[in-house]
């Protein structure tokens, strides 16, 4: 048995106006679109952020891009399982 949670969201008026023809063309409800979008986002693994190497003076004790990337990954915490 599937359980459902009822919730309320605020959608910007202009976005909802643009969504209505999209939904009508596909004979789709806003609810179905939101469920599909959430499932798609949750299934897609988040690409790791990689800072381009723009370090200056790394050989003189500066911070490398690898050290910065590692700090960012640690700050993000564990990602959602795919």
Q: Which tens digits make up the pLDDT trace of 17-61?
A: 999 999 999 999 999 999 999 999 888 877 777 877 776 655 566
Q: Which is higher by pLDDT, 29 or 2?
A: 29
User: Which residues contact residue 82 at a Cβ distance below 8 angstroms, ignoring those fewer than 6 apart?
Assistant: 43, 44, 45
Residue in 12, 7, 6, 82 with CA at minimum distance from that of residue 44: 82
């Amino acid at each position: 048995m599937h359980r459902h949670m009822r919730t309320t969201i605020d959608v910007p008026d202009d976005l909802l106006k643009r969504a209505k023809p999209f939904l009508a063309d596909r004979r789709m409800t806003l609810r179905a679109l939101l469920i599909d979008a959430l499932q798609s986002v949750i299934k897609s693994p988040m690409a790791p952020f990689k800072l381009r190497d723009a370090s200056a003076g790394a050989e003189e004790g500066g911070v490398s891009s690898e050290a910065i990337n590692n700090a960012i990954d640690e700050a993000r915490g564990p990602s959602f399982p795919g």
